[in-house]
Amino acid sequence: MRYLRLDGNFIATVLAVVFFVILAPQLAPFAPWMPNADLDPSWAWATNEAVARGLSFGRQFLLQTGPYSAIYNNFYHPETYGLMLAGGIFLAGAFALNLVSLRRENNSVSLVAAVALVLFMLAAPGSADAKFYVLTFLISLTTIRAAISNQQSAISNQQSAIRYGF
């Protein structure tokens, strides 16, 4: 009988699945807003309607949001609901992959900080901007960590090349 070894790849895969399962219901709007008489939901309805009609943003439709505003506003429209779900699931996958890549660097400080940041984002109700700001920060942090580790490996390769006369 083979025993399950808990190596780094298995733990990273389990973490990715756990992060995705936690984040997908939070980021993919399985229960979106419905049209109502709140303060001013007309901008959300108008952007979703513009996407549904295939209007060109910037020429035929002028608003500071773009064709992916359905992911931002979580406002139900029959034509953009699939885009909204797919975008939310994509965001959850991007969060999970970035968190796992931070874990692969074996730096628990950056992973704990990133997980705390994501939990803070999830605890901020009604803040649609938070998920995009936190994702941008995570991507930046992951890129910086990868650049540092690549630079360190390049320096060690240069030192070994100098040592052996190449």
Q: What is the pLDDT of residues 97-151, one digit of tens each?
A: 887 777 765 566 666 777 777 777 777 766 777 778 888 888 888 888 777 777 6
Q: Identify any residues that bridge with 75 across adjacent strands, giving them in sequence order.
A: 33
**2 domain-assigned:** no
**111 domain-assigned:** yes
The answer to whether the Cα torsion of 46, 51, 53, 59 is positive or negative is positive
| Domain count within the chain | 1
The answer to whether the Cα torsion of 140, 141, 146, 149 is positive or negative is positive
**98 domain-assigned:** yes
Domain range for 128: 8-163
**34 domain-assigned:** yes
Cβ neighbours, 10 Å, residue 82: 10
C-alpha span between 18 and 152 (Å, rounded): 31
**113 domain-assigned:** yes
C-alpha span between 75 and 41 (Å, rounded): 8
**In percent, how much of the chain has pLDDT > 70?**
70
- State the burial class of residue 115 (Cβ atoms within 10 Å of its Cβ: 0-12, 13-18, 19+): middle
**115 domain-assigned:** yes
Tell whether pTM > 0.85: no
**71 domain-assigned:** yes
pLDDT at 155 > cutoff 70: no
Q: What is the pLDDT of residues 21-48, one digit of tens each?
A: 877 877 777 777 676 666 677 788 888 8
Residue 40 CB contacts under 8 Å (≥ 6 apart), including other chains? none
**21 domain-assigned:** yes
C-alpha span between 15 and 13 (Å, rounded): 5
Cβ neighbours, 10 Å, residue 70: 28
Higher pLDDT, 26 or 81: 81
